[in-house]
């Protein structure tokens, strides 16, 4: 009789495949540079706004663009509605890649980051609602602490957690991508007041054309870039936030390779657009969105007003509890088990990084309190304070776990046979063990030769 087939137990945060790990390493290197530029832009924005406030307001509020096309926007809105669409386009490509070739390609693998992301958004929203509601504040900002900033979180991770296991890095990257997707849905559903159905229908028709051209294999930036601009303009005029156009186009790109292709179209386009997103679009958005007046009184208001206090607690506490709690529940109530090389403090340390909510949190804050400039600035200040607290807390915890990370990192990188591939990926290959056997035999022969020389030197006269 044949034995009944045993169901495999999923491993939470298990070892990645070698191609996935190499892709993740490249992404982290890019995000590190983008995170540093984002930080510099945020600091420059704060310095500019607090030293030359009038010139900052004049620059951010300067309007330009064709009024007839509904594109006579301020610099601040061009950054938030225009440049940030490029960021969301890259996020859409990342999400598509995860869905077809990454951590989200199978339901069992996708469950963990999706559950963690959902819990990491639901808990902060609940925390904000409780804190702000208990203090008699507005509940409109419930979505502000739900978003995680990919660039900042991965930049901190890459700088501080240099020896962090690749699986934990992939978990954070996938979590942040899923988090961005839900943030986009929140913007589309809850922050769209009036809809121009004619413009929306035009955007949908152009998106269909975009998809058909991709399916037909049409090449050339001169085809897609003008079409993308038309889609973005129609989406902006429809009343739906224009960043939705970016993520929609990103999701349409093919992210799997075909015969004769070294890279998929999605990977190629992402490689071209990511520097524009990380090096220009996101830093400029931060420059014209993070400029809030900071003073002792303003910082006191962050912890004194129910809305701003709800944002701070939601990001610092709610995000950490939600992400960690969602991961723990996946291990507790499913067949999944935590990677035996990791401990729950490792997961908790990475979960604190989710509290860094900058780019999308600032955007949602502007949308939630549109019409109340004072409260908008106070909420922005709360996002900045919470992001700094989360970054410091995460850096401290990652440093405390560094010895554990270092040991795991060295195990992942060990290449004793010298073929350029870490040994951990070759444990099931006979050729690897034969190479190791030959290497050990050579070493054994060398030690036997040295032993014979030592015996000659220690001849009878020396005994």
The H-or-E segment that residue 63 falls in is strand 63-64
Residue among 452, 15, 99, 37 at smallest CA distance from 279: 37
Tokens 């296991």, residue located: 165
- Exposed, middle or buried: residue 128 (CB in 10 Å: 0-12, 13-18, 19+)? buried
- Residue 310: the pLDDT is 94
The H-or-E segment that residue 11 falls in is strand 11-12
Find the Cα–Cα–Cα–Cα dihedral 296, 301, 304, 305, rounded to 10°: 180
Residue 433 tokens read as 């063990």
Q: What span, in angstroms and rounded, lies between the C-alpha atoms of 460 and 443? A: 28
CA–CA distance from 417 to each of 144, 363, 413, 435, 442 (Å)? 51, 51, 12, 7, 12
CA–CA–CA angle 161, 165, 170 (5° rounding): 95
- Residue 2: the pLDDT is 46
Q: Judge: domain 11-191+241-413, CATH 3.90.79.10.
A: no
Q: Where are the domains of the chain?
A: 11-191+241-413, 430-457
- Residue 5: the pLDDT is 47
Residue 144 tokens read as 């502000």
pTM for this predicted structure? 0.70
Mean pLDDT by 10 residues, the chain (463 residues): 49 60 56 74 88 89 88 88 86 80 67 82 95 91 87 73 67 75 80 83 95 90 93 90 86 85 84 82 84 72 88 95 90 73 81 86 86 85 90 87 69 71 73 79 84 75 52
- The crossing angle, in degrees rounded to 10, of helices 359-368 and 150-160 is 150
Q: What is the pLDDT of residues 324-352, one digit of tens each?
A: 999 888 878 877 666 666 778 888 988 99
CB 330 within 8 A of CB 347: no
């Amino acid at each position: 009789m044949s034995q009944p087939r045993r169901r495999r137990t999923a491993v939470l945060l298990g070892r990645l495949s070698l191609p996935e790990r190499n892709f993740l390493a490249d992404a982290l290197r890019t995000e590190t540079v983008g995170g540093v530029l984002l930080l510099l832009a945020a600091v420059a924005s704060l310095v500019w706004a607090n030293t030359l406030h009038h010139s900052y307001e004049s620059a951010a509020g300067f309007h330009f663009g064709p009024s007839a096309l509904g594109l006579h926007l301020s610099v601040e809105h061009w950054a938030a509605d225009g440049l940030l669409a490029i960021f969301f386009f890259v996020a859409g490509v990342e999400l598509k890649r995860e869905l077809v070739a990454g951590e989200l390609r199978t339901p069992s693998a996708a469950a963990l980051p999706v559950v963690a992301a959902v819990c990491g958004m639901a808990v902060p929203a609940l925390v904000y609602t409780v804190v702000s509601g208990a203090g008699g504040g507005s509940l409109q900002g419930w979505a502000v602490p739900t978003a995680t900033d990919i660039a900042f979180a991965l930049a901190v991770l890459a700088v501080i957690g240099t020896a962090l296991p690749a699986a934990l890095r992939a978990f954070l990257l996938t979590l942040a991508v899923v988090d961005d997707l839900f943030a986009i849905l929140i913007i589309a559903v809850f922050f769209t007041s009036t809809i121009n159905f004619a413009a929306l229908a035009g955007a949908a028709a152009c998106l269909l054309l975009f998809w058909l051209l991709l399916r037909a294999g049409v090449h050339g930036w001169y085809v897609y870039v003008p079409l993308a601009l038309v889609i973005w303009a129609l989406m902006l005029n429809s009343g739906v936030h224009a960043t939705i156009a970016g993520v929609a186009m990103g999701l349409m790109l093919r992210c799997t390779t075909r015969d004769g292709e070294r890279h998929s179209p999605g990977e190629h386009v992402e490689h071209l657009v990511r520097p524009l997103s990380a090096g220009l679009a996101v830093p400029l958005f931060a420059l014209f969105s993070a400029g809030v007046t900071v003073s002792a009184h303003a910082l006191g208001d962050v912890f004194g007003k129910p809305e701003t206090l709800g944002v701070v607690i939601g990001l610092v506490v709610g995000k950490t509890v939600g992400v960690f709690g969602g991961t723990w529940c996946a291990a507790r109530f499913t067949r999944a088990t935590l990677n035996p090389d990791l401990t729950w403090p490792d997961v908790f340390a990475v979960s604190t990084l989710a509290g860094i909510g900058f780019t999308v949190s600032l955007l949602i804050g502007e949308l939630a309190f549109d019409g109340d400039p004072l409260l908008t600035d106070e909420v922005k200040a709360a996002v900045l304070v919470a992001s700094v607290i989360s970054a410091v807390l995460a850096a401290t915890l990652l440093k405390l776990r560094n010895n554990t990370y270092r040991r795991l990192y060295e195990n992942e990188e060990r290449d004793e046979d010298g073929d350029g591939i870490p040994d951990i990926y070759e444990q099931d290959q006979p050729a690897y063990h034969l190479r190791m056997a030959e290497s050990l035999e050579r070493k054994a022969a060398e030690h036997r030769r040295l032993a014979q020389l030592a015996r000659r030197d220690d001849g009878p006269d020396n005994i």
